[in-house]
Amino acid sequence: MFLDSDGKTWKDARNHCQANGGDLISLTTPSKWEFVLQFTSCKTNMWIGLKDKLWVTNATFENVFNVSVQLNDHDGRYYNDSEPGCGKFSIRSKPILQDESCNERLKKIYVCEILV
């Protein structure tokens, strides 16, 4: 997990992960879900490797972990962004996956994984 005091767009966060030998995390297995839920329980509102309902690994998003999902390719705050479908993970009263502006929104937290 990386913290950036200034915040990064989804694309900048992904570039940073890739420059360090990984990519934004794809939450496709129970162990990855558990890791993010436990490791980031005190953090919220972070970029993950989901864009346009596809993980960065090209796997299609499936809600098999019973979390709230709002993937509607719309960001009401940045409605002119041509890429509104970048994924974020938040923990409020329960975990939620949403999509937001890829180019305008800045997040201070993003989760990378090293691909082997």
| Beta strand residue intervals within the chain, DSSP E | 2-8, 22-24, 46-51, 54-55, 68-70, 86-91, 95-100, 107-110, 112-114
Domain that holds residue 106: 2-114
- Percentage of the chain surpassing pLDDT 70? 98
What tens digit of pLDDT does each residue of 60-103 get?
Answer: 999 888 789 999 999 989 988 999 999 999 887 788 899 999 99
The dihedral of CA 94, 97, 98, 100: what is its sign?
positive
CB 69 within 8 A of CB 63: yes
Number of domains within the chain? 1
CATH (domain of 108): 3.10.100.10
Is the per-residue pLDDT at 6 higher than 70? yes
Tokens of 109: 């937290």
Q: Quick one: which of 113, 111, 102, 115 has its CA closest to 43? A: 111
User: In the prediction, which pLDDT does 25 show?
Assistant: 94
